[in-house]
Structure 1
Amino acid sequence: MNHPQYILQPVNPLFIAFSLILAFILNLLPWGGSIGIPDFVALVLVFWSIHQPRKVGIGIAFTMGLLMDVHDAVYLGENALAYTLLSYFAISIHRRVLWFAPLVQTFQVFPLFLGVLIVKLAVRLLVSADSHFPGWLYFLECVVTTALWPFVTWLLLAPQRRPVDKDETRPI
């Protein structure tokens, strides 16, 4: 209990929009067929659904999912369904997750990221007759996304930790 407890300032809605747009742009980068590249949109959606459930909810998750569906050229609604369920379950556990430190929160959010991959895979397998199971390395994406959780938490909460009043004698 030696670490400082911050009272966070209100989040700027423009910062939320900027982080979602940046996550979308990171998903647009041509990673190729690389294994283990995290889903940045899912990561940021879970973060804001847990920390700001009244500002980022199921509607934004659905919209981001449709945008990712168009970009990935997959069945329309595959990512939208996965992100909507992701946001719903993130909002439903947000009070419990916030009690823990970011490193312990990774155990709470891992099933969410795993669920996204399972929903996407289930839609692909159910809709297309020629699709097959991609292998167990397909699930490496949720492990990498979960491993980024403490860093993303620190990064996205940083603007809210600023002091309200400027004090010239305060070292930070």
Structure 2
Amino acid sequence: MSRRRNPWLLPASVLLALLLGLLPLPAELQPLRPFWLALAVAYWVLEAPERVGLGVAFALGLVGDLAFGGLLGEQALRLVVMSFILQRFRSQLRFFPLAQQALVVGGLLLNDRVVSAAVHLALGVPQLPWTYWLAPLVGMLLWAPVYLVLDALRFGRKA
């Protein structure tokens, strides 16, 4: 079966994830902002590991650090940890139903918050308020639509 490849989709999805991360939100919704870049990287690590691995995750994390003005290297570390776990269990995760994949991604996003809290603690940076721990739940709920849209665009199907 011949699958149509869209070489522009990877950079476009990463750029869109960066833009969604920079989108201004009201103060009440700010803690619920999902880690869009992690969702995009997770998709590509699962579906195109020959294109996106630990090095790409690190580079995208550095770009995210520069774009969002956080601690330099924090997002890079967080994305590399997530990508490593995804690569390690990729062969099993690809065959999970989408709902189970969403639970795994939610767990990885929660782990991302733990890594972020550990970095902040180690550097003496103030911790984020507890409401920021709700963002992994939002990311988990968004996994299925993100996955289905990127998959449809990647294979040229209608979403």
- Provide the C-alpha distance between the structure 2 equivalents of 1:161 and 1:91, rounded to a whole number of angstroms: 22
Runs of 4+ more than 3 Å apart: 160-163
Superposed CA RMSD: 1.9
- Provide the C-alpha distance between the structure 2 equivalents of 1:8 and 1:87, rounded to a whole number of angstroms: 28
Match of 1:30 in 2: 24
Instruction: Write 1 or 2 for the structure with the bigger share of helix.
Output: 2
**Structure 1 residue 146 corresponds to structure 2 residue 140:** yes
Q: Classify the secondary structure of the residue corresponding to 2:51.
A: coil
Q: Using a 3 Å threshold, how does the CA distance of structure 1 residues 132 and 40 change in structure 2: closer, same or farther? A: closer
Answer yes or no: is the 8 Å Cα contact 2:21–2:33 preserved in 1.
no
5 Å-filtered alignment, 1:11-22, equals 11-22=5-16
5 Å-filtered alignment, 1:1-172, equals 9=3, 11-31=5-25, 33=27, 34-128=30-124, 131-132=126-127, 134-135=129-130, 137-162=131-156
Q: Structure 2 length as normaliser, TM-score?
A: 0.88
* Partner deviation per Cα, 1:27-46 (whole Å, 9 max, x = no partner): 12122541211111000101
Answer yes or no: is the 8 Å Cα contact 1:35–1:138 preserved in 2.
yes
- Provide the C-alpha distance between the structure 2 equivalents of 1:8 and 1:30, rounded to a whole number of angstroms: 41
Identity %: 30
Q: Classify the secondary structure of the residue corresponding to 1:103.
A: helix
Q: Structure 1 length as normaliser, TM-score?
A: 0.81
Q: Which consecutive residues of structure 2, in runs of 5 or more, have no partner in the other structure?
A: none
- Provide the C-alpha distance between the structure 2 equivalents of 1:24 and 1:138, rounded to a whole number of angstroms: 18
